[in-house]
Amino acid sequence: MMASSYSAKEEDGLHSGSAGLGGAAIRTRKPDNTAFKQQRLPAWQPILTAGTVLPAFFIIGLIFIPIGIGLYVTSSNIKEFEIDYTGTDMSSPCFNCSQSFSWNSTTPCRCVLFFSLDQPFESNVFMYYGLSNFYQNHRRYVKSRDDSQLNGDERSLKEPSKECEPYRTNENKPIAPCGAIANSMFNDTLDLFYIDPNGTKTQIPFMKKGIAWWTDKHVKFRNPGGSNPNLTAAFIETAKPVNWRKPVYELDTDPENNGFINEDFIVWMRTAALPTFRKLYRIIQKKNNMTPTLPRGNYSLEVTYNYPVRSFEGRKRMILSAISWMGGKNPFLGIAYITVGSICFFLGVVLLFIHHKYGNRNNSSDIPN
């Protein structure tokens, strides 16, 4: 007994001595005895049963399937016309252009394609250009740009990012805009004409502004030198991209659509996720409610062939499309809703059958003696 009491007192003295020497109590890794640290907070733990899961599957199916059918029917009713002008066939008017034109060509090639519309376009018409087998989603291609330069930063204008290589400098001058995306900008010119029954050609007026996203136009892309810069002076120490025919400050005569804020350039710089894509080129605005935007009849598409695609076996096309409350023609969203709704409804039927057949069995876990 005396030895035990002595040992306890000696241990207490050692503890107090060590606490006194260190100036603090002995630290412990044991959490505080609180509800939060000991995980005793009240919590809601849902228990999945047939009565809660099965109705959820059927409700999702009954909601998604009608929505998907509505979206798919609406997309199918959108008028759309598409014409391929790549010129791979010998009978195509653009065959000679596709065979002879390259990035090194000094003069553009022109070709004319004739087509007819069986149904008129009543509302605003959106004109797209489409490319196939063009992988804008390649990792090095997507990174080959300088966002600071495109935002008007003068330092990046003179010293572009190394991500732009090998389209960073040309002739010992920084390229503006630099990078592979800008260097491969689509530059075909498309003009549309309506041919009257008497043979008279009338050019269809286009709107080339309002085709880019508002955030891109007013936030992400800015010209160096402020709101009203002298673009010729701002880009004087830079070089144009290798495949461009003219510098960036000559893309348009309109100062609000020139330089880095040119909307054709902005639309191209928003890279596509798939190798077959379309990008908005022009808008054909409805003039009045009495006449259709594009009446039925004969038309001609005059192409200034500046963009070669034979090197990567690509194809080019022009698309005329109307829109609805859900946007342009795209059946994917409707098909996705129908697919998800059908899967949920099918799983609901399967689980209901399993529950009806096996749910009444005795699931007691008692072990008999």
DSSP assignment of 9-22 equals: HHHHHHHHHHHHHH
**CA count, 13 A, side-chain hemisphere, 53:** 13
Token pair recorded at residue 15: 């503890």
Q: How far is CA 211 from the centre of its chain?
A: 15
User: What confidence score (pLDDT) does residue 361 get?
Assistant: 64
Name the band, by pLDDT with cuts 50, 70 and 90, for residue 199: confident
Rounded CA gap, 198 and 121, in Å? 21
Comparison of pLDDT for 101 and 188, the residue scoring more: 188
Which helix or strand (DSSP H or E) is residue 148 part of? Answer: helix 147-150
Mean pLDDT throughout 167-190?
94
In the chain, the number of structural domains is: 1
**Domain presence at residue 276:** yes
**Domain presence at residue 10:** no
Pairing type for strands 201-203 and 277-284 reads unpaired
Give the position of tokens 């136009």: 217
Q: Distance of CA 267 to CAs 177, 295, 314, 326, 345, Å? A: 14, 28, 20, 21, 41
Transcribe 46-70 into DSSP letters: ----HHHHHHHHHHHHHHHHHHHHH
Partners of 316 in the beta sheet? 131
Residue 99: pLDDT above 50?
Answer: yes
Q: What is the pLDDT of residues 297-309, one digit of tens each?
A: 999 999 999 999 9
Pairing type for strands 80-84 and 315-321 reads antiparallel
Q: What is the pLDDT of residues 232-248, one digit of tens each?
A: 998 988 999 999 999 99
Comparison of pLDDT for 228 and 107, the residue scoring more: 107
User: What confidence score (pLDDT) does residue 267 get?
Assistant: 97
Domain span including residue 159: 80-323
Torsion of CA 60, 62, 64, 68, to 10 degrees: 170
Rounded CA gap, 125 and 31, in Å? 68
**Domain presence at residue 339:** no
**Domain presence at residue 346:** no
Residue 2: pLDDT above 60?
Answer: no
Mean pLDDT throughout 253-273?
94
Name the band, by pLDDT with cuts 50, 70 and 90, for residue 25: low
Comparison of pLDDT for 13 and 74, the residue scoring more: 74
In 3D, which of 249, 244, 269 has the Cα closest to residue 259?
A: 249
